[in-house]
């Protein structure tokens, strides 16, 4: 694992590093303009980064509006995967969602991305629907997953 890790909210000066991670992680990456919008204009967006020796090695983002939250993306550089960093990023987003009194979070994940699905299930996300032909690169379906933060259900740790 990386020696010293820092988790912090993303800021505009991080955009170039976020784009590089996005390109390393995804078949249909977001571009610079998308991140610029999220970090400088979108008042509902919240992004967190992991730094190792002042280099961003992963990030996660979400949007929170009223009592709803939606996770937009989670990316870890390939060399740092398998070390629990995705879990830690997700825990950061969940903590922020709960701080903002969000009732539930949703996300989309490729049907073939079983590793990510397992991570989300560890955090109490459950499949709720299928979005057909969601991904533009190969027309793959997206599994929609959701976690609720109501008093009757178990709290997410």
Q: What is the dihedral of CA 88, 91, 92, 98, to 10 degrees?
A: 180
Coil, strand or helix at 94: helix
In angstroms, rounded to a whole number, what is the distance separating the alpha carbons of residues 1 and 82? 9
Helix, strand, coil share (%) of the chain residues, nearest 5: 30, 35, 35
Q: Reply yes or no on whether 108 is catalytic.
A: yes
Q: Reply yes or no on whether 120 is catalytic.
A: yes
Asked whether the beta carbons of 48 and 85 are under 8 A apart, the reply is no
**Max CA distance (Å), the chain:** 42
Q: Among the options 46, 47, 59, 120, which is catalytic?
A: 120
Q: Among the options 108, 134, 135, 152, which is catalytic?
A: 108
Residues known to be catalytic: 108, 120
């Amino acid at each position: 694992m990386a020696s010293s890790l820092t988790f912090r909210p993303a800021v505009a000066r991080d955009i170039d590093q976020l784009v590089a991670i996005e390109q390393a992680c995804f078949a249909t990456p977001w571009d610079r303009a998308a991140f610029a919008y999220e970090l400088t204009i979108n008042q509902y967006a919240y992004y967190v980064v992991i730094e190792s020796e002042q280099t961003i090695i992963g990030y996660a983002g979400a949007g929170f509006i009223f009592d709803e939250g939606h996770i937009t993306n989670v990316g870890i550089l390939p060399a740092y995967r398998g070390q629990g960093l995705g879990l830690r990023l997700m825990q950061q987003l969940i903590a922020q969602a709960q701080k903002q009194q969000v009732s539930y979070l949703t996300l989309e994940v490729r049907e073939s991305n079983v590793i990510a699905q397992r991570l989300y299930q560890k955090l109490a996300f459950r499949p709720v629907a299928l979005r057909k032909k969601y991904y533009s690169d190969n027309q793959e379906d997206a599994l929609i997953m959701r976690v609720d933060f109501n008093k009757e259900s178990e709290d997410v740790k």
